[in-house]
Amino acid sequence: MNHYRKLFFGVIALGVSFIAIELIPVSRQAAYWNRCLDSTVKWIDQAKDKGMESESQRVSRSRCM
């Protein structure tokens, strides 16, 4: 009976190891997509900031005139 228990835990450990190895490419792809998403959000924020600055400048000019 002790032999079966060791075999059972060995099979579970082997299965968990295989699953972990299979998940490595998925985590790399997720990291790539996260970096891409972060840079896209930064780009959108910069575009919004530039748009807001030019809009506020337009308002300031119209008040001065």
SS (H, E, C) 12-51: HHHHHHHHHHHHHHHHHHHHHHHHHHHHHHHHHHHHHHHH
pLDDT band of 28, cuts 50, 70, 90 = confident
Which 8-state DSSP code applies to residue 1? -
Percent of the chain with pLDDT over 90: 37
- pLDDT for res 34: 92
For the segment 27-42, the average pLDDT, to the nearest whole number, is 90
What's the predicted TM-score (pTM) here?
Answer: 0.49
Measure the CA–CA gap between 52 and 59, rounded to whole angstroms: 11
7-24 pLDDT, tens digit each: 999 999 999 999 988 888
